[in-house]
Amino acid sequence: MRLAGVAKAVTLVIVVVPFLATLVAIRLLWMRAVHWSDLVLLAVMYTLIAFGVTVGFHRMLTHRSFRPHPAVKLVLLILGTMGMEGAAVQWAATHLKHHALSDRDGDPHSPVQGFFHAHVGWIFAGTEADPKVYCRNLVEDPIVMFVSRTWVVWSLLAVAIPFAIGGWSGLLWGGLVRICLTHHVTWSVNSVCHTFGKRPFATRDRSRNEWIVGLLAFGEGWHNNHHAFPRSAFHGLRWWQFDLSGYLIWALARLGLAREVYHIPPTLLARAKSSAATPAAAPTGVPAPAE
């Protein structure tokens, strides 16, 4: 009980402090120009850690979209943990629960319970999933469990590295503002992409494609595509659907650092497209939600 209270307090600090620090950063920016090195630090930290979340936590760990080289796996999991969105195994379990129960009773973060709940409120609602139920295979994976058990170390690194490089302004921009951006962009996939945007596929949920989130979240905004084909390594399915995470997986495969990259079988894609084109058609049930 006491431990749960501490966990809630820590979560509150992790959510609120970076947001307030961003307001401080904007105020400082207003009073004097920010140094370019702070913005470079912000951009580099954001890019590396966003890949950790999108390619590492989401596509590799949760959906097994490709099989990584063990070193790549370790690096991606550490970068993802620096996103300060909790331990890897817990992240995967909660996300698999979202796919299993999308926009129905038990979905950890559906806007059916309100936009604010889907965005950030759910974090405080105690709707976390049990990894032993949703991803038993990951609980038995030594690399996943090592990074998950040491998540505090990697989370501290996420603020220690920018402080070591840029001092207090580095901590502010590369650390706290970066955390705030990572959080809100990730949360927007849960809130915005289940509320606004287009639905090219008739999935059994409210998932939508929203291009702005697609840009900011390195391809994760093509969320209706993702719910229709959860295991696909590419969330952008058209040439104009910018999917930076998909391009990284492609590059890793070319370098021999990733194999068994999952591509949607053309027949499955054609079937999903034709059923979406028929208004009365049943929702596509492909592939299995937990994959």
- Which burial class, exposed, middle or buried, applies to 242 when counting CB atoms under 10 A from its CB (0-12, 13-18, 19+)? middle
To Zn ion, the closest distance from the beta carbon of 166 in angstroms equals 34
- Name which of 169 and 203 has its Cβ closer to Zn ion: 203
To Zn ion, the closest distance from the beta carbon of 208 in angstroms equals 9
To Zn ion, the closest distance from the beta carbon of 21 in angstroms equals 28
* Cα 93 from Cα 90, distance rounded (Å): 5
User: Per-residue string for binding with Zn ion, 149-188, x by CB under 5 A?
Assistant: ----------------------------------------
245, 257 Cβ separation under 8 angstroms: no
Spell out the long-range contacts of 37-42 with Cβ–Cβ below 8 A and sequence spacing 24 or more.
37/166, 37/170, 38/166, 38/169, 38/170, 38/172, 38/173, 38/174, 39/173, 41/162, 41/165, 41/166, 41/170, 41/173, 41/174, 42/173, 42/174, 42/177, 42/178, 42/181
- Name which of 188 and 207 has its Cβ closer to Zn ion: 207
- For residue 123 the two structure tokens come to 């974090």
User: Which residues, numbered 110-149, are part of the site for Zn ion (CB under 5 A)?
Assistant: none
**Pair type for strands 67-68 and 258-259:** antiparallel
To Zn ion, the closest distance from the beta carbon of 188 in angstroms equals 11
To Zn ion, the closest distance from the beta carbon of 113 in angstroms equals 14
User: Which residues, numbered 255-274, are part of the site for Zn ion (CB under 5 A)?
Assistant: none
Q: Among candidates 161, 228, 181, which has minimal Cα distance to 85?
A: 181
User: Which residues, numbered 192-221, are part of the site for Zn ion (CB under 5 A)?
Assistant: 207
Gyration radius of the chain over CA positions:
19
- Name which of 104 and 149 has its Cβ closer to Zn ion: 104
To Zn ion, the closest distance from the beta carbon of 60 in angstroms equals 11
- Name which of 34 and 290 has its Cβ closer to Zn ion: 290
Residue nearest to Zn ion (CB): 207
- Name which of 65 and 155 has its Cβ closer to Zn ion: 65
User: Which residues, numbered 24-53, are part of the site for Zn ion (CB under 5 A)?
Assistant: none
Binding residues for Zn ion, per CB under 5 A?
207
